[in-house]
Amino acid sequence: MTRRHNFAFFLLIPFTYASIQATLSIPDITDEYARLNSSVEGRLSKGTPLALPCAIASGTRSEECVQIQQGYLDEAQWETCQTTGAQCLLDYTNTSNLSPIAPPRECLLGSIPPYFIDVQSEKDVQAAFKFSEHLKMPLVIKNTGHDYKGRSSAPNALALWTHNLKDISYDSEFVPEGCSTPSPAVTLGAGVQWKDAYAFAENHNITLVEVWSDSTVGAAGGWLQGGGHSMLSNTMGLGKCCGIFPLDNLQFKVVTPDGQYRVANACRNQDLFFALRGGGGGTFGVVMESTVLASPQVTLQLVVVSFNSTDSAWTRELWDTMAANALQWAEDGWGGIATSNIAIYINPKLDATEASQSMKPLVELGKKLQSSQVEGAQIITKTFGSWGKFYEWFAADNVAITGISLALVSRLIPKANFATAESQAELVQGLLDTSLATPRLIILISAPSSFPGDNSTSVTEAWRSSIYHITAVSSWNWDATKEEKKNSYAKASASIDNLRRITPDAAYQNEADVYEPNHEISFWGSNYERLLEIKYK
């Protein structure tokens, strides 16, 4: 099982390096850029496409080009300007083939900002805001570039690269500024990735509500600010920001567009604190660090049933079993992920005996698959002493594949769709119809269904009345025409209509259709008007 992403990744070259400027049409170094470079202590760089070293290798296989070819699907991509077609991409099905960037084709910037600031402090961000206001130039924020909508990339913009803000610390009695109640907490710089946070949490015997199958996702940026979800969301809330407990996310330090460096928590700048916990990454300011609640280390029970057959009858039986037991399993504390031929469930609440009893229907299905000699049928049950140990096992075979262009769509499935045998059958048929149109459908059992909510966060309240989050994708390769790309977006959107027809308007904004109908309600529910007021402020 893999999840395929469509992200942004850029090489950074020093500001003084100019040999490819003409090739990429990077703006000339003006007095304004020179002054900006001076104000950020020489940390202004030119953005270039990932594949540029292969394009300038003139047919030779330089060591740098070979490394890029070999790791192309491990890096993030959102470099193409879909309006003009300008790009510098390799063929993801055969990265050794350099014809996509060989003459007469050009290696173009596409959607890549021509200049980046390697952000080291809030002063760099303040300088960027002044520059942006003076030249009326858009700003984008990028840590790792893991953004399905390409919001960390924009042509003719100035980019803030927060990747090197790597500080991470633990305080067993952290008190947010202006507050009085202490809590165990971890403070994460804006450049900290989950691979850093995993190791840190393991070393300190704590649990952070972790991300899915890509350890390079940023822990304090768009994932968190959009209300990031995980396999533990059912029992521990949304991404440290959006569970029922107001202290799940304790504090942000953020530079707002007026240039002020602010602290936002439950006691100071409460409206900004509300907005940053679900309103969307890069929407209300540039977050420099986030402090999140640290939970005790948990023991996890794992149950997996999988098979290799592509027979849709077995997929239907798997999804029928999941739908029939979804409400009970949510109450029992299970979270997980599933596709057409695998279901992975984990639980931090039950012991091994209780987990075995709870998951009996799924295990019985696994036994049926084995007795029917379905290819590759297997049942796995394990106990892990921590999330980090589980993730090490999980990521070995379930890594996210990047470097592929795609259109992604999302739908939240509420408890009502699991209430009766009839609604369950309708849901499973909707899932099958969606997967028939867009085969890479993923069922993310990641809604915080155990949390009623307390109106302290800005994600849609539909998250807490849901059981599943569904995603589906439609992809294209480097040589797709503009019309083919438009058709991929239309295909993905049409596929999720099979679920839109039977569910309320609700989707996860970070993984949703860019043409989501009624998106204000789908993404933020009743919180939209308040978020809009805060945005204007």
Domain match, 8 and 133 both: yes
- Tell me what the mean pLDDT of segment 375-385 comes to: 97
Domain match, 264 and 368 both: no
| Bigger pLDDT: 241 vs 125 | 125
Domain match, 214 and 325 both: no
Domain match, 434 and 353 both: yes
In this predicted structure, what is the pLDDT of residue 213?
A: 55
Total structural domains within the chain: 3
- Tell me what the mean pLDDT of segment 101-105 comes to: 89
In this predicted structure, what is the pLDDT of residue 295?
A: 87
User: Which residue, of 108, 138, 161, is where some domain finishes?
Assistant: 161
| pLDDT tens, position by position, 272-287 | 999 999 999 889 999 9
Q: Does residue 328 have a pLDDT over 80?
A: yes
- Tell me what the mean pLDDT of segment 137-149 comes to: 89
In this predicted structure, what is the pLDDT of residue 31?
A: 86
Single out the residue of 129, 137, 131 nearest to residue 155, CA to CA: 137
Domain match, 240 and 284 both: yes
Cα→Cα distances 14→53, 152, 281, Å: 15, 20, 27
Instruction: Answer yes or no: is 447 within a domain.
Output: yes
Cα–Cα dist 198/183, whole Å: 20
| pLDDT tens, position by position, 39-61 | 999 999 999 999 999 988 655 67
Matching residue, tokens 């890594």: 399
Domain match, 330 and 244 both: no
The total of other beta-carbon atoms located within 10 Å of residue 153's CB is: 27
Q: Does residue 19 have a pLDDT over 50?
A: no
In this predicted structure, what is the pLDDT of residue 23?
A: 44
Instruction: Answer yes or no: is 395 within a domain.
Output: yes
| Bigger pLDDT: 221 vs 357 | 357
- Tell me what the mean pLDDT of segment 14-43 comes to: 67
Instruction: Answer yes or no: is 344 within a domain.
Output: yes
Instruction: Answer yes or no: is 530 within a domain.
Output: no
In this predicted structure, what is the pLDDT of residue 17?
A: 32
| pLDDT tens, position by position, 161-189 | 999 999 999 999 999 999 999 999 999 99
In this predicted structure, what is the pLDDT of residue 1?
A: 42
Least confident of 9-18, 125-134, 379-388, 451-460: 9-18
Confidence of residue 249 (pLDDT cuts 50, 70, 90): confident
In this predicted structure, what is the pLDDT of residue 349?
A: 93
Domain match, 83 and 191 both: no
Domain match, 243 and 293 both: yes
- Tell me what the mean pLDDT of segment 499-528 comes to: 95
CATH number for position 350? 3.40.462.20
Measured over the CA atoms of residue 95, residue 97, residue 98 and residue 100, the dihedral's sign is negative
Q: Does residue 362 have a pLDDT over 90?
A: yes
Instruction: Answer yes or no: is 17 within a domain.
Output: yes
The total of other beta-carbon atoms located within 10 Å of residue 62's CB is: 13
Instruction: Answer yes or no: is 536 within a domain.
Output: no
Print the domain residue range for 9: 3-161
Domain match, 208 and 146 both: no
Bridging pattern class, strands 158-161 and 139-142: parallel
User: Which residue, of 132, 161, 190, is where some domain finishes?
Assistant: 161
Instruction: Answer yes or no: is 188 within a domain.
Output: yes
Domain match, 378 and 284 both: no
Tell me if residue 401 falls in helix, strand or coil.
strand
Instruction: Answer yes or no: is 397 within a domain.
Output: yes
User: Which residue, of 245, 277, 297, is where some domain finishes?
Assistant: 297
Domain match, 260 and 404 both: no
Domain match, 141 and 206 both: no
